Amino acid sequence: LRAFGSDTRLPTVALVVDLLRERGAVSRVELAEATGLTRATMTNAVRRLISLGFVREVGTARSQRGTPRRLLELQPDACHMVGLQFDRFRGVGVIVDLAGRIAARRELPVVGERRPDEVVPELAAAVDEMIAASAVARGDIRGIGLATYGPQDRDAGVLLTPQPTSEWQGYPLAAALAESTGLRVAIENDATAAGIGAQHLGAAPSSFAVVYMSGGIGGGLIIDGHPYRGAASNGLELGHISVDPSGPVCDCGNRGCLDNVASPVAVSSLARRTSLAARLGLGADPLEGFDLLARAAAEGDSEAAELIEASVQHLAAATVTLVNLLDVSSVVLAGSAFTESGGRYRDAAQEVLDRSVFMRHVHSVSVELAGDVAHAAAVGAAMVVLRNLLESPNIGDRSARGR
């Protein structure tokens, strides 16, 4: 873990949990040294975590001067969070423990063009079923993180877009799900959540850009370990950057948007107008169709390969723009659309970045798939719940109890 600048410093308790998750058993002195915090501050943070049962003393180690130091270890089972990710095409749920490990997972009902008052009770039922099917006690669940598309008002827990139907705009999404489940609910942008999830699912660096692909294409950014949320929790609107200024006008008002040439929705829709529709049995579900096309392309179907390759190259070119704008040295791909074809998208983006990113002579840029592309956003949403809990000022404070 790197040192944080004062303006981005995490609350101590959250920082200690991150360090223990990363390093295993360590002493208070090591924690103080690693964070640059005083021993008194560290002792206070550790006391709070022990009183919550999140951290335990697990024996001693001898220091260089021979003084025994008590070692501390995270208790992963002491706390669990639910993470959900949905858009109109796909939805998955996970239960994640304090260490960021997935304790349970399931698919969620598909939203399609349905209204929120129809969907929310189904999400609540899916959460109930997932908890019941897991080994986790309901009382140990600290809340639900819900990752979905932006723009959003995270504080109010509402979406600021009439997608997929007008009823969703301003609908009290977080409040309604909290009411149906009895659990706290926090909403998060799906691409941003995928970035947070990637940090817990693999060795993501402290700063990186996220390319998120479900039916459409989005983006996210993690800076020094912290998500960049912009003004409206919309992530980076990668799908609506213009890749062809004289291209057709998009619904968004811009011309030649990436989404309209490279997204699984666009690729599937193009394929349905060709002989591929009958040959591969393409149905209405764009992600299912996209996976069928990707598989056919990998198996040598030239017509499918042409469509997939056009998407691959457009996305790679957009990734160069993303990296040129942000000067990151790492890009992470996440989202269910990368389940089947992620390797091809990664390889092509890497190749194009290696030969065309402006800063390539100064530093390299790596492209990686998130540890679990289809669940990264759900895991990240769950970790947002934990982060909110650890950042609350009175966490584990005995004097604040019973109020």
* Interface with Zn ion (CB under 5 A): 240, 250, 252, 254, 257
Q: How far is the CB of 121 from Zn ion (least distance, A)?
A: 33
**Closer to Zn ion by Cβ: residue 254 or 329:** 254
The Cα 377–Cα 256 span in angstroms is: 28
**Closer to Zn ion by Cβ: residue 180 or 254:** 254
Q: How far is the CB of 73 from Zn ion (least distance, A)?
A: 49
**Count H helices, E strands: the chain?**
13, 15
For residue 199, which of 6, 390, 386 has the smallest C-alpha distance?
386
In 88-200, beta strands by DSSP E: 91-97, 102-107, 141-148, 152-153, 158-159, 185-189
Helix (H) or strand (E) holding 119: helix 116-133
Q: How far is the CB of 383 from Zn ion (least distance, A)?
A: 30
**Closer to Zn ion by Cβ: residue 161 or 274:** 161
345 close to 357: Cβ distance less than 8 angstroms: no
Rg (CA), the chain: 22
The Cα 77–Cα 354 span in angstroms is: 43
**Closer to Zn ion by Cβ: residue 254 or 321:** 254
143 close to 389: Cβ distance less than 8 angstroms: yes
Q: How far is the CB of 125 from Zn ion (least distance, A)?
A: 35
**Closer to Zn ion by Cβ: residue 199 or 263:** 263
Q: How far is the CB of 250 from Zn ion (least distance, A)?
A: 3
Q: How far is the CB of 55 from Zn ion (least distance, A)?
A: 47
**Closer to Zn ion by Cβ: residue 137 or 252:** 252
The Cα 128–Cα 90 span in angstroms is: 19
Helix (H) or strand (E) holding 195: helix 190-201
Q: How far is the CB of 241 from Zn ion (least distance, A)?
A: 8
Q: How far is the CB of 295 from Zn ion (least distance, A)?
A: 28
Q: How far is the CB of 245 from Zn ion (least distance, A)?
A: 12
**Closer to Zn ion by Cβ: residue 187 or 213:** 213
Ordered DSSP codes for 317-333: HHHHHHHHHH--SEEEE
Q: How many residues does the chain have?
A: 403
Question: Which two three-digit tokens encode residue 328?
Answer: 């990151």
245 close to 26: Cβ distance less than 8 angstroms: no
Strands 226-227 and 217-223: antiparallel
**Closer to Zn ion by Cβ: residue 88 or 344:** 88
**Closer to Zn ion by Cβ: residue 24 or 162:** 162
29 close to 39: Cβ distance less than 8 angstroms: yes
Question: Which two three-digit tokens encode residue 329?
Answer: 């040295």
Alpha-helical runs (H) found in 236-360: 259-262, 264-272, 276-280, 286-298, 302-326, 338-356
